[in-house]
C-alpha cells in the first residue's frame, strides 16, 4: 500500500519536472523503491538519518542502472525518486515548534532536517561514484587482455 502511494507521489512529481513520457513509470518506481527501503530500515533500526542515507543509496543505484539500460541521464530517475525522502515532516515540525516557542525541540528537529537533506545528497552521490568506479575498473580489466594478446 505504501509502495503504491509513494509511486503515485513520485509519478506525479515526475510530470511536474517534465520528464519524457516513456520514462515516467520507471521514475515513479524509483520513488516506491526508496520509500520501501526507508520504511523497512526505519522499523528495524529506528534511526532516521541512517535509513534515509541507505534509501537514497538504493535509489541512486537503481537510477544509475536504469540510466545505463534506458540510455538517459541518471537524474531523470533519481530526482523524482528522492521525493518521498525529502524531510518535509521534520521541516514542518521545526517551524511548528518555533512558532509555539519550544526552541530546544525546534533545534533538535532542525538538525535532523539538515542531516536528512545531507544524507539524501550523499547517498545519491555515493551510488553514482560507485557506479563510475565499477565501470572504470571494468574498462581497465577489459583492456588488459587486449594489450597482452
Partner 1 sequence: MNIKEVMDIASFAGEILLSSGAEIYRVEDTITRICNSYGVHCECFVMPTGFSLTVRNKNGDVLSNVKRIKNRSVDLHRVEMINTFSRRLLNERSSYKEAMEELNRIKNMPYFSYNLQIISSGFVAFGFAKLFGGSFLDSLVAFVISMFIFYIKDNIQKYGFFQFLEFFLSGLMAGVLSIIVAKLIPYVNIDKVIIGAIMTLVPGVAITNGIKDALYGDFISSFARLIEASFIAIAIGLGVGVSLILQLSWV
Whether 8 and 32 have beta carbons less than 8 Å apart is answered as no
Is residue 82 a contact point for partner 1 (CB under 8 A)?
yes
Is residue 135 a contact point for partner 1 (CB under 8 A)?
no
Whole-angstrom distance, CA of residue 14 vs CA of residue 28 = 7
Is residue 11 a contact point for partner 1 (CB under 8 A)?
yes
Whether 26 and 74 have beta carbons less than 8 Å apart is answered as no
Is residue 103 a contact point for partner 1 (CB under 8 A)?
no
Closest CA relative to residue 79, chosen from 146, 142, 24: 24
Is residue 75 a contact point for partner 1 (CB under 8 A)?
yes
- SS3 state of residue 123: helix
- Binding residues among 42-61 for partner 1 as defined by CB under 8 A: none
Comparison of 35 and 57: residue with beta carbon closer to partner 1: 35
Is residue 20 a contact point for partner 1 (CB under 8 A)?
yes
- The CB-of-138 to partner 1 minimum distance in angstroms stands at 21
Amino acid at each position: 500500500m505504501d509502495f503504491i502511494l509513494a509511486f503515485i507521489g513520485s509519478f506525479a512529481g515526475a510530470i511536474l519536472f517534465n520528464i519524457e513520457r516513456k520514462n515516467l513509470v520507471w521514475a515513479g518506481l524509483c520513488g516506491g523503491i526508496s520509500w520501501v527501503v526507508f520504511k523497512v530500515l526505519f522499523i528495524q533500526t529506528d534511526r532516521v538519518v541512517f535509513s534515509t542515507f541507505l534509501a537514497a543509496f538504493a535509489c541512486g543505484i537503481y537510477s544509475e542502472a536504469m540510466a545505463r539500460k534506458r540510455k538517459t541521464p541518471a537524474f531523470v530517475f533519481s530526482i523524482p525518486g528522492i521525493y518521498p525522502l525529502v524531510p518535509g515532516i521534520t521541516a514542518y515540525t521545526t517551524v511548528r515548534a518555533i512558532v509555539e516557542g519550544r526552541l530546544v525541540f525546534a533545534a533538535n528537529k532542525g538538525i535532523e532536517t539538515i542531516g536528512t537533506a545531507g544524507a539524501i545528497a550523499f547517498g545519491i552521490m555515493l551510488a553514482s561514484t560507485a557506479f563510475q568506479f565499477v565501470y572504470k575498473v571494468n574498462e581497465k580489466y577489459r583492456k588488459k587482455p587486449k594489450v597482452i594478446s
